[in-house]
Amino acid sequence: MGRTQRGFTLIELLISVGLGFVVMAAIYNVFISQNRVYEFQSSVVAMNEAALTGIDVMLRDLRTIGYRDSSGNPILLANPKQVSFRADLNDDGTLEQVEFKEVSQEGAASLVRIENAGAEQTLVKHLEPSAGVQFKYYDKDGGAVIDTSTQAQRNTIRSMKVLIAVQTNRLDPISNTYKVVKLETYVRPRNLAGFAAP
């Protein structure tokens, strides 16, 4: 009597290899999907950190508007997308002129800081196109200062609201949209109270 060896048939082997490929493809797709979500979440964290750092630098400087400026005109330019002012930032007796504004860099809007008409220092990249950076100005009674075209009108400014809207530099893999974070804060420059409003 001969020994019968029982093994897998060719069809059984093909079916098991095919099922193995299906399982491996599913695992690969889950890995790729999770990797995209992880990369997107990393860009969200980086966006939040950059926005917070940028607004912190801006607020630090805005609080010093008019420090050691005896001209009585510390705010040089004030509009919804830009503010320029004088202050002694490093306490050396010399006034610096500082400007914050929204500019287009590499096809995207960015918030930049310019000191003494020097090079632009990028504070926040990838501003949201419709909102970006917005400055709103208020007088001593909290009323909005809408027209800031003259120095006399700029001298009435006592506080301002700053809004920064930042978006991720990549699409959310789930919703296929950009994530937008808006940071809004008020700042009352310490040294503007001494300037007489016209």
In a domain, 11, yes or no: no
pLDDT of residue 159: 94
User: Is residue 162 within 8 Å of 62, Cβ to Cβ?
Assistant: yes
- Whether 18 maps to a domain, the answer reads no
- 87 occurs within a structural domain: yes
pTM metric for this prediction: 0.80
Query: Which pLDDT tens digits describe the chain residue by residue (198 residues)?
Result: 566 777 888 899 999 999 999 999 999 999 998 998 899 899 889 889 989 999 999 999 999 999 998 888 899 999 999 999 999 999 899 999 999 999 998 888 999 999 999 999 999 999 999 899 999 999 999 999 999 999 999 999 999 999 999 998 888 888 999 999 999 999 999 888 754 443
Within a domain: 94 = yes
Residue 5 lies in a domain: no
CB 158 within 8 A of CB 192: yes
Domain assignment present for residue 196? The answer is no
pLDDT at site 1: 54
pLDDT at 198: 37
Q: What is the extent of the structural domain holding 174?
A: 30-187
Q: Is residue 1 part of a domain?
A: no
What lies within 8 Å, CB to CB, of 162 at 6+ separation is 55, 58, 59, 62, 133, 134, 135, 184, 185, 186, 187
CA distances from 45 to 9, 34, 40, 173, 181 (A): 54, 16, 9, 16, 11
User: Can you give the pLDDT at residue 174?
Assistant: 86
Note whether residue 193 is domain-resident: no
Count of the separate structural domains present in the chain: 1
Tell me, what's the pLDDT at 194?
Answer: 53
